[in-house]
Amino acid sequence: MLILQKDAQIILLGKWLNITVQDQILEERENSGIIHLKKLNNWIKSVLIQLYAKKGDAVLDLVWGKGGDLSKWDKAKIGYYVGIDVAEGSIEDCQTCYNGDADHHQRR
Protein backbone atom coordinates (compact mmCIF):
# COMPACT_ATOMS: atom_id res chain seq x y z
CA MET A 1 0.00 0.00 0.00
CA LEU A 2 2.82 2.43 0.84
CA ILE A 3 4.54 1.68 -2.45
CA LEU A 4 1.38 2.57 -4.38
CA GLN A 5 1.17 5.84 -2.49
CA LYS A 6 4.78 6.68 -3.39
CA ASP A 7 4.16 5.67 -7.02
CA ALA A 8 1.15 8.01 -7.14
CA GLN A 9 3.25 10.85 -5.73
CA ILE A 10 5.94 10.25 -8.35
CA ILE A 11 3.35 10.25 -11.14
CA LEU A 12 1.85 13.52 -9.83
CA LEU A 13 5.32 15.07 -9.58
CA GLY A 14 6.08 13.98 -13.14
CA LYS A 15 2.85 15.52 -14.44
CA TRP A 16 3.52 18.78 -12.58
CA LEU A 17 7.06 18.93 -13.96
CA ASN A 18 5.79 18.28 -17.48
CA ILE A 19 3.45 21.27 -17.26
CA THR A 20 5.92 23.58 -15.51
CA VAL A 21 9.01 22.78 -17.56
CA GLN A 22 7.33 22.66 -20.96
CA ASP A 23 5.68 26.06 -20.57
CA GLN A 24 8.87 27.83 -19.55
CA ILE A 25 10.81 29.38 -22.43
CA LEU A 26 14.51 30.28 -22.41
CA GLU A 27 13.86 33.98 -21.79
CA GLU A 28 11.80 33.18 -18.70
CA ARG A 29 14.58 30.98 -17.34
CA GLU A 30 17.14 33.76 -17.91
CA ASN A 31 14.92 36.21 -16.00
CA SER A 32 14.55 33.84 -13.04
CA GLY A 33 15.48 35.20 -9.63
CA ILE A 34 17.78 32.24 -9.10
CA ILE A 35 19.48 32.17 -12.51
CA HIS A 36 22.89 32.97 -10.99
CA LEU A 37 22.52 30.08 -8.54
CA LYS A 38 21.61 27.76 -11.43
CA LYS A 39 24.65 28.92 -13.41
CA LEU A 40 26.91 28.40 -10.39
CA ASN A 41 25.46 24.92 -9.89
CA ASN A 42 26.08 24.16 -13.58
CA TRP A 43 29.69 25.37 -13.35
CA ILE A 44 30.30 23.26 -10.23
CA LYS A 45 28.95 20.17 -12.01
CA SER A 46 31.26 20.88 -14.96
CA VAL A 47 34.29 21.12 -12.69
CA LEU A 48 33.39 17.96 -10.75
CA ILE A 49 32.83 15.97 -13.95
CA GLN A 50 36.17 17.16 -15.35
CA LEU A 51 37.99 16.28 -12.14
CA TYR A 52 36.46 12.90 -11.36
CA ALA A 53 35.01 11.30 -14.48
CA LYS A 54 37.43 9.01 -16.23
CA LYS A 55 37.46 7.77 -19.78
CA GLY A 56 35.20 4.73 -20.08
CA ASP A 57 33.32 5.31 -16.80
CA ALA A 58 29.65 4.35 -16.47
CA VAL A 59 27.23 7.02 -15.22
CA LEU A 60 23.78 6.72 -13.66
CA ASP A 61 22.24 10.21 -13.71
CA LEU A 62 19.17 10.48 -11.47
CA VAL A 63 16.83 13.39 -12.23
CA TRP A 64 18.65 14.24 -15.47
CA GLY A 65 16.16 16.91 -16.51
CA LYS A 66 16.46 18.02 -20.12
CA GLY A 67 19.93 16.51 -20.53
CA GLY A 68 21.86 19.72 -19.98
CA ASP A 69 24.87 17.75 -18.76
CA LEU A 70 25.13 15.44 -21.78
CA SER A 71 27.84 17.55 -23.39
CA LYS A 72 29.82 17.54 -20.12
CA TRP A 73 29.71 13.74 -19.97
CA ASP A 74 30.55 13.51 -23.67
CA LYS A 75 33.59 15.73 -23.16
CA ALA A 76 34.68 13.42 -20.31
CA LYS A 77 34.57 10.50 -22.79
CA ILE A 78 32.55 8.24 -20.51
CA GLY A 79 31.72 4.81 -21.83
CA TYR A 80 28.11 4.34 -20.74
CA TYR A 81 25.34 6.71 -19.65
CA VAL A 82 21.89 6.05 -18.19
CA GLY A 83 19.62 8.99 -17.35
CA ILE A 84 16.43 8.71 -15.30
CA ASP A 85 13.72 11.32 -14.79
CA VAL A 86 10.03 11.33 -13.84
CA ALA A 87 9.12 14.22 -16.17
CA GLU A 88 8.16 12.85 -19.57
CA GLY A 89 8.59 16.26 -21.22
CA SER A 90 12.15 16.55 -19.97
CA ILE A 91 13.00 13.11 -21.31
CA GLU A 92 11.56 14.05 -24.71
CA ASP A 93 13.59 17.30 -24.70
CA CYS A 94 16.72 15.36 -23.79
CA GLN A 95 16.16 12.91 -26.64
CA THR A 96 15.67 15.81 -29.05
CA CYS A 97 18.88 17.45 -27.81
CA TYR A 98 20.78 14.15 -28.07
CA ASN A 99 19.52 13.60 -31.61
CA GLY A 100 20.91 16.97 -32.66
CA ASP A 101 18.00 19.42 -32.68
CA ALA A 102 19.62 21.84 -30.23
CA ASP A 103 17.51 24.72 -31.57
CA HIS A 104 14.34 22.95 -30.34
CA HIS A 105 16.02 22.40 -26.96
CA GLN A 106 16.80 26.13 -26.62
CA ARG A 107 13.22 27.20 -27.35
CA ARG A 108 11.77 25.30 -24.37
pLDDT at 102: 53
Q: What is the largest CA-CA distance in the chain?
A: 44
pLDDT at 105: 41
Contact (Cβ atoms closer than 8 angstroms) between residue 68 and residue 42? yes
CATH of the domain at 85: 3.40.50.150
Measured on CA atoms in the order 77, 71, 22, 13, is the torsion positive or negative?
A: positive
Query: Domain total for the chain?
Result: 1
**H or E element, residue 59:** strand 58-62
Range of the domain at 7: 2-107
pLDDT at 90: 83
pLDDT at 6: 46
Give the burial class of 2: count Cβ atoms within 10 A of its Cβ; 0-12 exposed, 13-18 middle, 19 or more buried.
Answer: exposed
In angstroms, rounded to a whole number, what is the distance separating the alpha carbons of residues 73 and 67? 10
Pick out the chain residues at pLDDT < 70.
1-27, 29, 101-108
In angstroms, rounded to a whole number, what is the distance separating the alpha carbons of residues 21 and 55? 32
